[in-house]
Amino acid sequence: MLYALCFLLFMIGLYCAVVKKNMVKIVIGIVIMEYAVNLFLIMLGYRTGGQAPIVGQKDIAATGTELTNAFINSSVDPLPQALVLTAIVISLGSLALMISICIRTYEKYGTFDITEIRRLKG
């Protein structure tokens, strides 16, 4: 069910990126898509009532297998979080580049409307 909401967010972003005519709105649509995927990744690793996957003092002290197992069984999956962190860094880079291209295009053409920015054709 929650996954479906993620997918809905993804589709909203895709719609926004495909249909809108303003360059900034297209960028916003792409970012929404990106965050929908990030949310999806985070939810893959979540378990109900799970705890943060950080090893604390008490987990170190108890080297016995029982506590370790309890920790493993109760923490959420840390891998998707690492993936999302990397994906966020990447999306930051591409977002900065997209915004800068938007600004430069605005300087050249004086508009954000992609229907008016049509020097290339074919």
Partner 1 sequence: MNIPLPLFVVIPLIVAFLLPIIGSLGGKGKSASTLLANITVLVLLALSILSLGKSDVYQVGKWTIPLGINLVLDGLSVLMLVAVSVVSFAAMLFSVKYMEQYTAKPKYLSLFLLMVAGMNGVVLSGDIFNLFVFLEVASIASYALVGFGCEHEELEASFKYMVLGEIASIFVLFGVALVYGNTGMLNMAYISKSIQQNGMNPGLTFALGLFIAGFGLKAALVPFHAWLPDAHPSAPAPISAMLSGVLIKTLGVYALARIIFNVFGLSLPVAWILLALAMLSMTVGAFLAIGQRDIKRLMAYSSISQVGYIVLGIALGGLIMVKQQNIVLASLAILGGLFHLLNHSVYKSLLFLTSGSIESATGTRDMKKMGGLTQRLPLTRATCTIASASIVGIPPFSGFWSKLILVVAAVQAHFYWIAALIVFVSLCTLIMYLKLQRYVFLGDLPEKFKKIKEHRGTMLASMVFLAVLCVFMGLLVISPTLKAIVLDPAVRVLIGGLRYSKNIITISGM
Partner 2 sequence: MKGMTVIVKTITSWVKILIFLFGIYIILFGHLTPGGGFAGGVILASSYILIMLAYGRDFVEENLSLPAASRIDCLGAFSFAMIAILGLVFGGSFFVNFLFQKYLPGQPLNLVSAGTIPLSNIAIGLKVGASLFLVIVSLSICCKDFRPGTSVNKKKE
Select the binding partner of residue 4 from partner 2, partner 1, none (C-beta < 5 to 8 A, by kind).
none
Closest separation in Å from C-beta 85 to partner 1: 12
Select the binding partner of residue 85 from partner 2, partner 1, none (C-beta < 5 to 8 A, by kind).
partner 2
Q: Which stretch binds partner 1 (CB under 8 A): 47-55, 56-64, 67-75, 112-120?
A: 112-120
Phi, psi of 60 (to 5 degrees): -70, -45
- Complex with partner 1: residue 51 or 116, whichever CB lies closer: 116
CA distances from 12 to 33, 34, 74 (A): 8, 11, 34
Give long-range contacts, CB 8 A cutoff, 24+ apart: 10-15: 10/36, 10/37, 10/40, 12/36
Nearest CA to 97 among 108, 107, 105? Answer: 105
90 is a site residue for partner 1 (CB under 8 A):
yes
Copy the structure tokens of residue 82: 């690492």
Residues lying near partner 1 in the complex (CB under 8 A) are found at: 10, 14, 17, 23, 26, 30, 33-34, 37, 40-41, 44, 79-80, 83, 86-87, 90, 93-94, 97-98, 101-102, 104-105, 108-109, 117-120, 122
